[in-house]
Structure 1
Amino acid sequence: MRRSVSPFSLVLLGLGTFLLVLAPLLVQYVQPRAAVNPTDIDTTAVYTGRGSVFDLEKVETVPDQRITVTQRVRGDVRESERSGKAVWDVITSVDTDRTLPAADPHDALSFTPHRWVLDRRTTAPVHCCGAKPRIQGEAYLKFPFDVRKRAYRWWDNTLGDTVVLRYRGTEKVLGHTGYRFTGSVPPTRTGTRLVPGRLVGLPGGGQVAAEEWYANHGVELIVDQRTGRVLYAQTGPRQTLRAPGGTEDRAVLLDAEKIAFTEETQRAAVEQAKDDGDRLRLLGETVPLGAAVAGGLLAAAGVVLLARGRKVTARPDPLAPSA
């Protein structure tokens, strides 16, 4: 008797082994390379709220105005490909109903263009490619992938420094669960501005270098854990002027306790987070798990068939002498 090896058993064993090797490769090699920040980003986030703003025509602070903050982010694809980093150009404008829509962006209460360059995998700021200002910290427009339950240093562009945001549990945004982080900014001097002295209580001083001060009543962010995308953002900026060396606010430029993502912006952020999260979950969990299970079953079946073999009766040797 002799055993013959079935080609089918070898095919099963080979395919099963391939899938078992593929599963950890997807987790360790493919999925981390899919978790990268895009170079061709093109998004707009809109915040709205009510507060006090300084009216240049009336030369006074006007209360209870509707405030709209628009933040446009567009990727510089060519510079990104050249540098290997994500190069994002950001324009942030602050408007009232009177300046919306603004034919000239400089009609806005505030118009700030800047460039953020970040590592595509870690989201850490990179100082190259014309990045301005020199952004620091661990997060700015988004958090790193796989957000942890800990404090993060969030860049506040108005402050020109980082703010510590602490983890406060989970919260849902339009049915999608995210991690909640909060923080605040105490009154901090951020620079100087030439203004008529009377604005800061110096009527006979002509133009003076008034001190610019900034505080934030509270920053609240709800972030998608897997992708680091901000699902909901709320901020409470207060910008004022003080006389040189003064200890009191003399003019309020902007003061709002709550300016937050519109529902439309929240919906777009949630949809994008779900799409990106599903893609990462597919590569990091669903496909590797399926490959491991299928590979194990196929390899086991191949081993069983190979072990059993197929018994075949030996043929008589025609040269052997007959009895």
Structure 2
Amino acid sequence: MTLVLLGLGVFAIATGLLLRFYAYPALAKIPHDPKTSAVAQGSGITALVYVEKNGAPTQPEIRRNLSLTSSTFVSGDMRAPEVKADSRVTSWVEATRITEDRDGLTLSASVRELCLDRYSAEAVAPCTTQYVQKTKEAGKDTKVPGTRGQPQFPGLNFKFPFQTEKRTYPWYDTGVGKQVDATFDGEDQVQGLPVYRFTVSVPPTDIDGRQVPGSLVGKPDATVAVRLHYQVDKTMWIEPDTGALIKVRQSVKQELRGPDQGAGRGTTVFDGTLELNQKTVDANVRAAEANKSRLWLLTGLPVVLWIAGGVLLAAAAALTLVGRRSRH
């Protein structure tokens, strides 16, 4: 009996160690070929749109009280040279389009590709396939490839790491075009799912210069040189075991300013809040719960096995001690 308990105890502890320190690192990594979609919506938004009038070329126009929908689809680039079955790096593609609900006008569209560390979820380099392509004014596209030696979108982009901690993480903000702090803001629940809440705040920042029609900014000139200023307040609800984004809300403001205009004195070309809709949040909760259960087999079960193994070894030791005393 003592040998049986001893064997079971050793087996339990060894199995726990195998699951936690071998199986977990091998399996807790982001996939090569995700196929996820997300829809964010908002209303009462001010935005710049480009419209055709009487067959003339599209012209910029500021509209207010709009309802907008942002649709995002993320997939994997299985042909990227960085993507191999057991590689630490993968390559994801994100396609996003923001449309106006009533007339179906496209306000903006973009596609970007980047390489990610499959364990930390941070962007990495070298990455031969990274780029961003945006639809700019009047439907004109521009594609910007990345530099091979450095990540084009440094920081976290799609999710947080497995076993997310209560600390600040680097998050890449596409609006300002650089990584910013995602700060832990407390624990919360979404539909009963325990989550961590993180916030991102970017103060008004000069991000671009451009020439616009004077009529757009209240000037008599044919064209006017202005600077685009951007600010955002973003809240993300993260399931900590998987690092998955469950719910996201962001409030964005963009303002065109002339050289003599300070904050709030320019022309607002975007002002509104977009939030993941209920269907997307429901899907995110279901996926996180399923993945969290799978991860428990690699994180929670080892603890149970270690405790059980310790109890079995203690029982074996106790039986051995009792046996020795009975022989004397």
TM-score normalised by the shorter chain: which range applies? 0.7 to 0.9
Alpha-carbon shift at residue 11 of structure 1 (Å) = 6.7
| Structure 1 alignment gaps of length 5 or more | 1-7, 101-106, 309-323
Q: Provide the C-alpha distance between the structure 1 equivalents of 2:4 and 2:79, rounded to a whole number of angstroms.
A: 46
Q: Provide the C-alpha distance between the structure 2 equivalents of 1:117 and 1:245, rounded to a whole number of angstroms.
A: 41
Q: State how many pairs are aligned.
A: 292
- In the other structure, the counterpart of 2:95 is 91
TM norm structure 1: 0.79
> Does the Cα contact within 8 Å between 1:44 and 1:71 map onto a contact in 2?
yes
**Secondary structure, in 3 states, of the residue corresponding to 2:164?**
coil
> Does the Cα contact within 8 Å between 2:20 and 2:302 map onto a contact in 1?
no
> Does the Cα contact within 8 Å between 2:15 and 2:305 map onto a contact in 1?
no
1:251 maps to 2:267: yes
Name the % identity: 32
Q: Provide the C-alpha distance between the structure 2 equivalents of 1:303 and 1:132, rounded to a whole number of angstroms.
A: 65
4+ residue runs of structure 1 moved beyond 4 angstroms? 8-16, 298-305
> Does the Cα contact within 8 Å between 2:29 and 2:118 map onto a contact in 1?
yes
Q: Provide the C-alpha distance between the structure 2 equivalents of 1:148 and 1:186, rounded to a whole number of angstroms.
A: 25
Alpha-carbon shift at residue 36 of structure 1 (Å) = 0.5
> Does the Cα contact within 8 Å between 2:83 and 2:91 map onto a contact in 1?
no
User: CA RMSD, aligned part only?
Assistant: 2.9
> Does the Cα contact within 8 Å between 2:15 and 2:302 map onto a contact in 1?
no
Q: Provide the C-alpha distance between the structure 1 equivalents of 2:97 and 2:103, rounded to a whole number of angstroms.
A: 11
> Does the Cα contact within 8 Å between 2:16 and 2:301 map onto a contact in 1?
no
**Secondary structure, in 3 states, of the residue corresponding to 2:216?**
helix
> Does the Cα contact within 8 Å between 2:5 and 2:312 map onto a contact in 1?
no
For residue 161 of structure 2, what is the amino acid of its counterpart?
P
Q: Aligned ranges for residues 1-20 of structure 1 at < 5 Å?
A: 13-14=6-7, 16-20=9-13
**Secondary structure, in 3 states, of the residue corresponding to 1:191?**
strand
For residue 130 of structure 2, what is the amino acid of its counterpart?
A
Q: Provide the C-alpha distance between the structure 1 equivalents of 2:11 and 2:314, rounded to a whole number of angstroms.
A: 9
> Does the Cα contact within 8 Å between 1:115 and 1:131 map onto a contact in 2?
yes
Q: Which range is displaced more, 272-281 or 284-293?
A: 284-293
- In the other structure, the counterpart of 1:28 is 21
Q: Provide the C-alpha distance between the structure 1 equivalents of 2:33 and 2:260, rounded to a whole number of angstroms.
A: 46
- In the other structure, the counterpart of 1:74 is 75
Q: Provide the C-alpha distance between the structure 2 equivalents of 1:18 and 1:150, rounded to a whole number of angstroms.
A: 36
- Report which structure shows greater RCO (CA 8 Å, sep ≥6): 1
For residue 214 of structure 1, what is the amino acid of its counterpart?
Y
- Compare CA radii of gyration and give the structure with the larger one: 1
Give a deviation string over 1:218-246, Cα, whole Å, max 9, x none. Answer: 21111111111111100011123233564
TM norm structure 2: 0.78
Give a deviation string over 1:92-137, Cα, whole Å, max 9, x none. Answer: 111111454xxxxxx5100011112110011121121322351122
Q: Provide the C-alpha distance between the structure 2 equivalents of 1:183 and 1:36, rounded to a whole number of angstroms.
A: 25
> Does the Cα contact within 8 Å between 2:8 and 2:312 map onto a contact in 1?
no
- In the other structure, the counterpart of 1:213 is 229
For residue 272 of structure 1, what is the amino acid of its counterpart?
A
Alpha-carbon shift at residue 172 of structure 1 (Å) = 1.1
1:158 maps to 2:214: no
**Secondary structure, in 3 states, of the residue corresponding to 1:281?**
helix
Aligned with 1:56 (options 50, 60, 65): 50
1:44 maps to 2:14: no
> Does the Cα contact within 8 Å between 2:123 and 2:154 map onto a contact in 1?
yes
Alpha-carbon shift at residue 17 of structure 1 (Å) = 2.9
Q: Provide the C-alpha distance between the structure 2 equivalents of 1:169 and 1:192, rounded to a whole number of angstroms.
A: 38
Q: Provide the C-alpha distance between the structure 1 equivalents of 2:49 and 2:208, rounded to a whole number of angstroms.
A: 21
Q: Aligned ranges for residues 1-323 of structure 1 at < 5 Å?
A: 13-14=6-7, 16-50=9-43, 51-57=45-51, 59-79=60-80, 81-82=83-84, 84-98=88-102, 100=104, 108-127=106-125, 128-132=127-131, 134-137=152-155, 139-204=156-221, 206-216=222-232, 218-243=233-258, 246-247=261-262, 250-256=266-272, 258-287=273-302, 289-290=304-305, 293=308, 297=312
Q: Provide the C-alpha distance between the structure 2 equivalents of 1:99 and 1:22, rounded to a whole number of angstroms.
A: 60
For residue 26 of structure 1, what is the amino acid of its counterpart?
L
Q: Provide the C-alpha distance between the structure 2 equivalents of 1:46 and 1:99, rounded to a whole number of angstroms.
A: 18
Q: Provide the C-alpha distance between the structure 1 equivalents of 2:215 and 2:63, rounded to a whole number of angstroms.
A: 17
For residue 128 of structure 2, what is the amino acid of its counterpart?
C
**Secondary structure, in 3 states, of the residue corresponding to 2:286?**
helix
Q: Provide the C-alpha distance between the structure 2 equivalents of 1:25 and 1:39, rounded to a whole number of angstroms.
A: 24
> Does the Cα contact within 8 Å between 1:201 and 1:250 map onto a contact in 2?
no
- In the other structure, the counterpart of 2:145 is none
| Structure 2 alignment gaps of length 5 or more | 52-58, 133-151, 324-328
Alpha-carbon shift at residue 49 of structure 1 (Å) = 0.8
Q: Provide the C-alpha distance between the structure 2 equivalents of 1:174 and 1:266, rounded to a whole number of angstroms.
A: 9
Q: Provide the C-alpha distance between the structure 2 equivalents of 1:14 and 1:151, rounded to a whole number of angstroms.
A: 44
Give a deviation string over 1:147-205, Cα, whole Å, max 9, x none. Answer: 1112222211011012322222111111111111123221111112332233234432x
Q: Which range is displaced more, 71-80 or 265-274?
A: 71-80
